[in-house]
Structure 1
Amino acid sequence: MPVGEVTITLEDVATLSGLPIDGEAVIVDVPDREWSETCTRLLGHAPNDLSGGVVKLSWLREHFNNLPPNASAEITGQFARAYALSLIGFMMFPDRTGATVHLQYLLLLENWRTAGGYAWGAAVLAYLYREMGRSVLHLTQSSSTGGDLGGWVALLQLWAWERFPLIAPRLDDRTSPSVFLGLTK
Structure 2
Amino acid sequence: MGFYGVLMCGSRRYDNHLITALVERWRHETHTFHFRCGEATITLQDISIIWGLPIDGEPIIGIDVSHRVEEWQHICLNLLGFTPLTSHFKGGHLSITALYEYCMAARIDDNSPDIDVVKYTHCVALMIIGGIMVPDYQGESVRLIFLQLLRDIERIRSYSWGSAVLAFLYRELCNATRIEKAIISGPLFILQVWVWSRITFVNLDMNGLSLIVPQNEFEKNISYAPYGAR
TM-score by length of 2: 0.67
SS in 2 for 1:5: strand
Alignment RMSD: 2.0
Q: Which residue of 2 aligns with 1:11?
A: 45
1:121 aligns with 2:159: no
Q: Larger C-alpha radius of gyration, 1 or 2?
A: 1
In terms of mean alpha carbon deviation, does 161-170 or 52-61 score higher? 161-170
1:178 alignment partner in structure 2: none
Q: Which residue of 2 aligns with 1:45?
A: 82
- Tell whether 2:98 aligns with 1:59: yes
In the TM superposition, residue 4 of structure 1 has moved relative to its aligned partner by 5.1
**Which position in structure 2 is the counterpart of 1:96?**
137
Trace 1:72-87 onto structure 2 (pairs within 5 A).
72-87=113-128
- AA aligned to 1:162 is S
Residues 161-176 of structure 1 mapped to structure 2, 5 A cutoff = 161-172=196-207
SS of match in other structure, 1:101? strand
Going from structure 1 to structure 2, the CA distance change for 1:170 and 1:105 (only over 3 Å counts) comes to: same
- Displacement of 1:52 in angstroms is 1.4
Q: Which runs of 5+ in 2 are unaligned?
A: 1-34, 209-230
Query: Which structure is higher in RCO with an 8 Å CA cutoff and minimum separation 6?
Result: 2
Aligned-partner Cα distance in 2 for 1:148–1:105: 24
Give the residue type in structure 1 aligned to 2:90: S
Aligned pairs, how many?
167
Instruction: Determine whether 1:152 maps to 2:187.
Output: yes
Task: Confirm or deny: 8 A CA contact 2:129 2:142 kept in the other structure.
Answer: yes
CA contact (8 A) 1:39 1:103 kept: no
Larger strand proportion of the pair: 2
- What are structure 1's unaligned runs of at least 5 residues? 174-185
Identity value in percent: 34
How many Å apart are 1:3 and its aligned residue?
Answer: 6.6
Q: What CA deviation, in whole Å up to 9, does each residue of 1:96-144 have, x standing for no partner?
A: 011010111122111122111110001001001111222222xx026xx
| Matches of 1:23 and 1:65, distance apart in 2 | 32
Q: Where does residue 35 of structure 1 map in the other structure?
A: 72
TM-score (norm 1): 0.82
